[in-house]
A and B are shown apart, each in its own frame.
Chain A
Amino acid sequence: MKIKHHLTDDLVMGYSAGTLPEAVNLIVATHVSLCDDCRAAVEACDALGGAMVESSDTVAVSDDCLESVLGMIRTEEAPAREPARGAPRSSVLPQPLADYVGGGLDDIKWRPVGMGVKQAILPTSSEASARLLYIPAGMAMPDHGHRGMELTLVLQGAFEDEDGHFARGDIEIATDEIEHTPVADISEDCICLAVTEAPLRFKGLLPRLAQPFLKI
């Protein structure tokens, strides 16, 4: 598997600094779970954060602070060596996503949104929204523009639009200017994680009517 479409530097930096909305953190963490290039980029940014803390000014901590921590660790059992939680690499949902769904593919609570397309909205803070999309093989999503950023990460199958071909692990970053019609490959049903900053605007009448219902 070779990932061709990656995170931007700003997303990497924002994830490392901890300044992104929860839904955006979720899609970044999911991409990084599949992509060692971006994992290395995030960890390099973390190194910058660490070096900043290292060379930072200091503010004295109260005398009780150390005593409290020593109290905490002394009353604990010897630190348990929990095994790393690494999920089987074959599972469609990487661990951060599995945590939000509460299990695997079978645990997703899909709701039909017409023409065989299904979605499941994930519980995140309201600054941005995250949802899983299920697009039957060969099906097109209505073409639409964006009022904000839209991030789409492929988990299964693939889709193609004016911007290129996106397969498992690839992330498409669409901004205000882009109008596109993603079409799922005919070989396999496509499952994506989509994160949006603001409602999309659809061109066709029917999808526009459906938009409040879709909650996207």
Chain B
Amino acid sequence: GLHDTTAADWTDHVRRIRDDADETAFVALFRHFAPRLKAFLIRSGSNPAEAEECVQDVMATVWRKAHLFDPSRASVATWVFTIARNRRIDLLRRQKRPEPEDLPWGPEAEPDQEEVVQFQQDSTNLARAISDLPDKQRVLIEKAYFGELSHSEIAEETGLPLGTIKSRIRLALDRLRHAMDQR
């Protein structure tokens, strides 16, 4: 089923890749995300061969950059989505994608475990809320992500718990800023 593995479980897989270069964890992540990413990329205009090339790059990046994943600000699905989005701009539109300045990240800013658990729970709830949406509303969101619609009121119109997620991310950012000032 769709929710047999929760967001928090995938977080643990990325930690195992980061700490133990664990190939079994990587293969499990691949089997879950690669077919979803391929579908996403085809829907955003790639042909199947391009989509698969992109999926390979994205998953290799997941392996290489596991240490940069911050589970107090993103679910693994979100992190994978952002890598795929950037790679798609790179490959299909042949453009650079300017990214915001990184906030320093390292052992000294190891995220608070309680924050991580709450954030990952929110992420699982968001995914569940999306699959429970009536088709008409889900199509709206998808259109916005595939560039067919500019839509600013998604949270209000669909009742998705985006506000909660935003305030949790804000808290995690404050904690990071604080850790930076202490150095």
Contact = CB atoms under 8 A, between A and B. Distances in A.
A58 B35 contact: yes
A18 B89 contact: yes
B67 A79 contact: yes
With most chain A CB atoms within 10 A of its CB, the pick from B38, B105, B142 is B38
A65 B126 contact: no
A50 B80 contact: yes
Contacts of A58: 35-36, 38-39
A9 interface: yes
B131 to A, nearest CB: 4
Contacts of A53: 33, 36-37, 40, 77, 80-81, 84
B118 interface: no
B27 A96 contact: no
Contacts of A36: 170, 173-174, 177
Given A18-B89, A47-B74, A79-B21, A13 B98 contact: no
A87 interface: yes
With most chain B CB atoms within 10 A of its CB, the pick from A45, A50, A68 is A50
Interface residues of B, number: 87
B104 A84 contact: yes
Contacts of B151: 10, 13
Interface in B60-91: 60, 63-68, 73-82, 84-86, 88-89
Contacts of B146: 17
A49 interface: yes
B45 to A, nearest CB: 11
B68 A47 contact: no
Contacts of B106: 83-84
B81 A39 contact: no
Nearest to A31: B100
Contacts of B127: 50-51, 54-55
A100 B66 CA distance: 27
Interface string A39-70: 11111111111111111111111100110111
A125 interface: yes
Interface string B30-50: 110111111110100000100
A107 interface: no
A86 B131 contact: no
A59 B142 contact: no
A148 interface: no
A79 B130 contact: no
Contact of A43 (B52, B64, B102, B169): B169
15 contacts: A13-B151, A14-B150, A43-B166, A44-B163, A46-B74, A47-B165, A48-B162, A50-B75, A51-B126, A53-B77, A56-B40, A58-B39, A65-B55, A66-B31, A79-B65
Name the 8 nearest CB pairs between A and B, nearest first: A50-B78, A9-B152, A58-B35, A19-B147, A33-B101, A50-B77, A44-B166, A95-B101
Given A40-B166, A40-B173, A79-B21, 13 more contacts: A10-B152, A46-B74, A48-B130, A48-B145, A51-B75, A51-B130, A52-B145, A59-B48, A60-B35, A61-B55, A62-B52, A66-B34, A96-B100
